[in-house]
Amino acid sequence: MRQLDEGELDFLRELSNIGVGHAATALSQLIGRQVGMRVPKVSIVDITSVPEIMGGSEKVVSGVYLQVLGDARGGILLIFPDDSSRALINLLLKGVEDPLSEMGASTLKEVGNILASAYLSVLGNMLDITLIPSIPSLAHDMVGAVIDIVLSDLGEIGDTAFVFETEFCDIKDDIKGHFFLLPDPESIDVIMKAIRSKNG
């Protein structure tokens, strides 16, 4: 599996913090109150280890996923543990917590869309590549099942996942998620090459 050195991972973490900064601004405008976000850690893992990162394949989660089109192709998966997805929905829609309700599902997809669009915009601009998100879908299930659904729906993606731990701050609830960029095999090389040229 391809890897980046510590400096390149730091560069990617800085990029992602700019991206989630834009996303936080958009979310703050959406709900009319300040929301902060940060990415404390970035790593590259084999996609088979994603359930382990989330606490085991039987842990219940909400997963928002979409296709990435443009110069680099693949998918994006945003996973929230069940308690975080409920807290996030309640933060955005006072009194609603159910991720399976129509409003709850719609809200999570909108958050995923905002995050993905902001992140891809910053990443694309900094790396001089075009990255376009598709319309998001939602899966609420055990994390192993969510990964199976995503792999089935997104089609050909590689075995490499870029992992961006994402924390919401400036709010009283402890809301954490994981943002996974899942490039297809050819796009991994495109992204790695762009990162190395910009970080060199």
The span from the first CA to the last CA of the chain, in angstroms, equals 21
CA atoms within 13 A on the CB side of 87: 16
Q: What is the pLDDT of residues 95-151, one digit of tens each?
A: 777 877 888 899 899 988 988 888 888 888 888 889 999 999 999 999 999 988 888
pLDDT of residue 7: 83
pLDDT of residue 143: 92
99, burial (CB in 10 Å: exposed 0-12, middle 13-18, buried 19+): buried
pLDDT of residue 144: 92
Q: How far apart are CA 9 and CA 23, in angstroms?
A: 21
Q: What is the pLDDT of residues 73-84, one digit of tens each?
A: 888 999 999 988
What's the CATH code, domain 6-199?
Answer: 3.40.1550.10
22 pLDDT more than 80 = yes
What rounded mean pLDDT belongs to the chain?
84
Residue ranges of domains in the chain: 6-199
